[in-house]
Structure 1
């Protein structure tokens, strides 16, 4: 069960970093993708519609949080 938690944290970090990179590099396209018929994610992207700078700022936070989460996994192994 211990490995399941570590794998879940690693997957979350990977998602955060990847999603953050897409939001940073292509904010309009990435927000538009999740804007309609996205299984409930529409309300998550609503604050970013028409605000690519806001999405980029959030992307930087996502990437930083993902990297911090991944770094915690390295420290936890030691």
Structure 2
């Protein structure tokens, strides 16, 4: 798979994950909670902090759009 296609897939994931984090921050964080410490460490900073998750979601959307806009065929 080409690097550009991989970057496009990353941008799509960032945008989608960011939007879910913006509109449903508590549900989204709860869904990703895990009994595996290595996985849970990624979402723990957002637990019971919906404003923080929304801010991160907005940053994800912006970064994803910037990444996608830089890609050329």
Does the alignment reach a TM-score above 0.5? yes
Gaps of 5+ in 1: none
Partner Cα separation in structure 1 for residue 29 and residue 17 of structure 2: 11
> How many equivalent pairs are there?
73
State the structure with more CA Rg: 1
Shift of 1:4: 1.0
- Report the equivalent of 1:29: 27
Q: How does 1:31-70 map to 2 (within 5 A)?
A: 31-37=29-35, 40-70=38-68
Q: Which residue of 2 aligns with 1:6?
A: 4
Superposed CA RMSD: 1.6
Flag as ranges the 4+ runs of structure 1 deviating above 3 A. 37-40
